[in-house]
Each structure stands twice: as C-alpha cells, then as structure tokens.
Chains A and B, each alone.
Chain A
Amino acid sequence: MADAPPFEAVIGLEIHVQLATRTKMFCGCELSFGDEPNTHTCPVCLAQPGSLPVPNEKAIRFALMIGAALDCEIAARSIFHRKNYFYPDSPKAYQISQYDIPICGAGKLGEVRITRAHLEEDAAKTIHVGSSGRIHGSAASLVDFNRAGTPLVEIVTEPDLHGAREAADWARLLRETVRQLGVSDVNMEEGSLRVDANVSVRPAGSEELGTKTELKNMNSFRFLQRGIEAELKRQEALVEAGDTVEQETLHFDPASGGLTSLRSKEEAHDYRYFPEPDLVPIVPSEQMLRDARDSLPALPAARAERYLDAGLSADTARLLANDPETAAYFDATELIASAPSQVVANWATGDLASAERALPDGSRPDPVWLADLIDRVQSKRITHKNGREALFWSVEHGKDPAEFIDRKALEHQVDSGELARIVAAAIAADPAAAEQVRAGNGKAIGALVGAVMRETEGRADGGEVTRLLREQLGL
C-alpha cells in the first residue's frame, strides 16, 4: 500500500544580499571584489579608535526597495543595534545590525511569508594560511578588511517551505526579484547572495515545529537543494531511530555533498544586543517610500500572477516571470499580435528560443515582425513549419521574416494538408494514370501532377506534389 510520507519538511531561509552601492555601509571606502588585500580601508572600517559610522543613504534606499518588492511593512522609525562578538573578521568586535525594529518588517514573496529584512554590514575576509614557516608557527589566518563594512540586507523568511526543491525554486525567485531591482549582483559563487537554511522535520499533519538546524555555505541553488535534501534525510533517520535532532549549525561541503557540524567548544553565543548610540533613527519620508515603490520594475512574482491572469499556462508564466528580457519582448509582441497570448508566448519562449540557441550570433527580430509572422501562421496563410523557417532566417539575417516569405512565395503555397487532399482527389479522378504509375510507368505521373497543379493554380511545390503522389500510391 502507498504510505503517506511520514514526515513533513519545514524550511525557512535566511538570505544575505550584498548591496551594489559604490561605497561601504558606514564609510566612504569603495566596494571592491578581488582587489589587493587591505587597499579599501579607512579608520572607520578598520575600527580605529575614535572613528564613527555614517550610514550610506543609497543602502537605505536599496533596503526600502527590497522592502517594497517583498511587500514588507516599512518601519516608520527603525534603529541600529550592536551585535557583539569577538572574531578577527569583525573589526569593532560588534556588527552594526538591526534587532527589534528592522527597516522592513513582515512581507511576502510568492507563497512564502517574509519575517523581516534588515540592514547590516559585512565582515572582513579571513584566509587560513597554516603556520607559513614561522619559527613559532602555530596555525594562523590573514585578515583582509576590503569586504568589511559592505552593506548587506538580511532577509529572513517564515518556515513556509516544505521541500528542498521548493526551497531552491523560491530562492531563485528571490534572487531574480532582487536582481531585477538592480540593488545587488546576487552572485552566489562570489558571495553577493548567501542563502542559509533552517531545516526541521515533523510528523506529517503535526502543527508543532521540530528542532531545527542551520545549514550554511551552500553557494549555488543546486547545493542549496542538495544540502537541504541531505539534512532532511539525516533528520528523518534520526527521528525514525528514536533519536533527537540537536540544534546546531551545519556546514555544507560541496565536494562531498555532506554536512559537518560547526559546533565549537565555545559557550553559546550571547550577542549582547543594544541600541547603537553612534547612529540616529531612520525615519523614511513619504517621498522616500514613494521613490522606492516607483523604482520597482514589474517583479517576477507580480508578473507571474499577471501572466496567469492573462491566460498563460503556469509554466509559461513562471518562465516569463523569471526572464525579464524575454518577458518584455513577449509583452511588446503580444500587444501587436492578434493571436491568443499563449500562442504568442509559445513563439516567444519556444521557437524563438530554439532559433537563438541554434544561431547564437543572430539577432532578435523586431516584435512587430514576429507579431506579423505569428498572425500569418495563425491565419493559415503559411504553414507553421514555414513560419518557423522564416523566423530562423530572420534571426540569422536580422531582417523581417516577411522578406523571406515573399521571396520564397511561401504565403502562396498550398498548405501541406490541403495539398495532400488535392493529391488524393487527383488520384481518385484518374485511376488509369494511377494504375500506370503503380505498374512502373514513371512518365504517367505527369498527368497526375498536372491535375494537381491545375487544381492549386500552380501554388504547389512540384517536388512536394510528386513526393505526395508517390507516397499515396504506395511507392
């Protein structure tokens, strides 16, 4: 018998987004990637004595845009907190972050509720160097403060995801959303988008939450999915064996696909959060909120919904929602074409995509051209096959497919279905000629071809007519 799955996965995500501002969160040092170590530092981001943070207005505006895109409640007045912990990557030994009043509160993206999205600063980079030949050489790290102070928005979701695939798909939607805002490079490999997952399992149907573990270091969507899958399997096995899941942080190892515990001998963290006295509250003005809303492009989730409403299939809607360039192209084409939306979408996402894959150096036809092409096919003035051929030609040459159609007089050709019927009728009308052909008199076919040509007023392709005649005569 088919058992219902005994466990339900409960997954929440924590996403750190590096903002693509020019300068750091609290100082004027330029952001950098891959520059020589410690060439983008100043008294503030090195935490030299006496230095003070000054927030980057652009980062605040970017955070408000993210809040608007995630449909978050924006705090009328939010404040910064200090999160205290010692580590060489934290120059002040506290991170300026937000705590009980984040700039962006509850929101929603797709089916997943957003708990909050807050502003904070990134840590420095440490590189392990071993003992590097020193006399008193115990293991050491080198600290590079170029990254220290890079603006981050941390987005936290409610545990609304229930599968590894679902979590990865939603993370893709989030990435696409943030990318389209233009506020981040959202590159997981380079670390400008970092996704951690809080994972737990519970008996199916239960309302209680199980003990969760935190998964880190999954620097691609594939790894995110694999990490969660592995952790779910591990937790289910534990629970099935009657063991308990321990709350811990697990590190994903891309090489092995396994998870290792990061639990240290240190006591549990006590971050001693308190309001940052060096910074004053953020009180977004009406104008700032309006600016944030106005700067939103049509975002994936909203667009997917709009496409569904417009009658597109769920797959097509998602595809267009996550590909703004094609979506814009589709929108333009759809506006001009009289064919149904789904038909236009099939051309824009199917035939055109194949053409572009086949002809990577080609160019995308003008939407007016494509709309015209679709309408010709749709009204059966040309065959789909010929239409597709014209599209490929257009992509290759960067010209209006109508030119190709005209040149080849495709529009005047009889459609192959119709031609087959005319051929059949010609055979039926002249059984003697048909019999001669069957008997091996090749020249006898001319009479039949002539009949077809007369019937089609010369619009049929001679070769095609011969082929069809031979086919229907069983040769």
Chain B
Amino acid sequence: MIDRAQVLHVARLARLRLSEDEVETMVGELSGILEHVDRIGRLDLDGVEPTTHVVALENVWRADQPVPSLPREAALANAPDPQDGAFRVPSPQAE
C-alpha cells in the first residue's frame, strides 16, 4: 500500500522526522488504514459533485474597515525566540 520510501517522502513534506521504529510502524499502520480507505477509490462516482461545505453559503465577507491590531508585546508574547520586535528563526541552511 505505502512503502518506506513513500513514508519518508511524506514525512519530509509534513516536516516530521521519524525514528527508524516509527518509520516501520508507520508503514504497517498506514498501509492497514489505506487498505480500508482504498475502497472509496474504486467507486464509480463520476458526475457526483464533491462536497466542500455542508452549508450552502456564499459571499460572506467583511467591509474594508480596520480593527485594532495586537500590541507588539502581545504578538510576541508567545514567541520562542523574539529579537528586536520580530520572530527569530534559523536560516534555511546552516552556514
């Protein structure tokens, strides 16, 4: 159903690092779930409209009116690594 390489690829897409054990467990568990789920893939549902929303709403929006923003201290209150009024993050590649 899903192999090791696919699990590693998906883990990278999802920014998850899996231990060797987790990779192995994941291959088994996901395969089991997908085996069950795969039956919907085999259904002939041509012409059936997909449902994104169960409630038929449209054109819900707001006026272009400003509302107060958070004070900067509040915006940064939960930041793991605030610096100079901003959120500090490591660069994409270590130097």
Contact = CB atoms under 8 A, between A and B. Distances in A.
Nearest to A128: B91
Interface in B6-42: 9, 12-13, 15
Given A143-B86, A283-B58, A38 B72 contact: yes
Given A138-B94, A267-B9, A272-B13, A28 B66 contact: yes
Contacts of A55: 60-62
B92 to A, nearest CB: 7
Interface string B57-72: 1111111111101101
Nearest to B13: A270
A94 to B, nearest CB: 12
A281 B58 contact: yes
A341 interface: no
A274 B54 CA distance: 16
Contacts of A43: 70
Interface residues of A, number: 53
B91 A140 contact: yes
Interface stretch (A57-65, A301-309, A366-374): A57-65
Given A55-B61, A57-B64, A42 B89 contact: no
Given A42-B70, A280-B58, A79 B87 contact: no
A278 B25 CA distance: 33
Secondary structure at chain A's binding surface: helix, strand, loop or mixed?
Answer: loop
B62 A141 contact: no
B61 A54 contact: yes
Nearest to B91: A139
Nearest to A272: B13
Interface in A411-436: none
A139 B69 contact: no
B90 interface: yes
A154 interface: no
A281 B83 CA distance: 40
A280 B95 contact: no
Interface residues of B, number: 35
Nearest to A19: B64
A142 B92 contact: no
Interface string A18-60: 0001110001111000001111111100100000001111111
A77 to B, nearest CB: 7
A126 B89 CA distance: 9
B75 A86 contact: no
Contact of B52 (A127, A129, A143, A275): A275
B70 to A, nearest CB: 6
A5 interface: no
A144 interface: yes
B59 A23 contact: no
A40 B61 contact: no
A40 B62 CA distance: 18
B66 A277 contact: no
Contact of A280 (B57, B83, B88): B57
B41 to A, nearest CB: 16
Interface in A112-128: 126-128
A138 B94 CA distance: 6
B66 A30 contact: yes
A54 B62 contact: yes
Nearest to B56: A280
Given A30-B69, A280-B57, A143 B89 contact: yes
A267 B12 contact: yes
Given A38-B87, A139-B94, A58 B64 contact: yes
Most buried by B among A38, A43, A143: A38
Interface of A: 21-23, 27-30, 36-43, 46, 54-60, 77, 79, 86, 88, 126-129, 131-132, 138-145, 264, 267, 270, 272, 275, 277, 279-283, 285
Interface of B: 9, 12-13, 15, 52-53, 57-67, 69-70, 72, 75-76, 83-95
Given A129-B88, A142-B83, A283-B59, 5 more contacts: A36-B85, A54-B62, A59-B64, A144-B85, A267-B9
